[in-house]
Amino acid sequence: MDCIKIIKALSNKTRFNILLWLKDPKLNFEEFGWQPHNNDEDSKHYVCVGYIQKKSGNSQSTISEHLSILEKANLLRSLKIGQWTLYARNEEEIIKIKDYINEVL
């Protein structure tokens, strides 16, 4: 776990908000037409870049850069389906980070 990379990723308000929004996709993206990709537990949390871009109000290239930074910090997972890339929180890693911070700080 690269704590500095994670802290840098979280230090940007847009990236922090993306993680918050992805915690509950139904609540945060339903207004844009979001529906679960399918009914299995894992993939129902994935959201396409377009919905994240609409929610943020930023350009798609800016959001793609933010998503890349979050993914490199292992805070997000991506799922490629045809031309679409969907993103979800990496809950396992987020739990490890929370546990680490509780232990160290």
Output the DSSP codes for 1-68: --HHHHHHHHTSHHHHHHHHHHHSHHHHHGGGT---SSSSTTGGG-EEHHHHHHHHTS-HHHHHHHHH
Give pLDDT < 50 ranges for the chain: none
What pLDDT, on a 0 to 100 scale, did the predictor assign at position 31? 85
**Domain count of the chain?**
1
| Predicted structure pTM score | 0.88
Instruction: Assign residue 87 the CATH number of its domain.
Output: 1.10.10.10
- Domain region containing 69: 3-104
What pLDDT, on a 0 to 100 scale, did the predictor assign at position 2? 84
Contact 79, 86 (CB under 8 A): yes
What pLDDT, on a 0 to 100 scale, did the predictor assign at position 11? 96
Tell me the C-alpha distance between 9 and 32, whole Å.
26
- Furthest CA-CA distance within the chain: 43
What pLDDT, on a 0 to 100 scale, did the predictor assign at position 42? 66
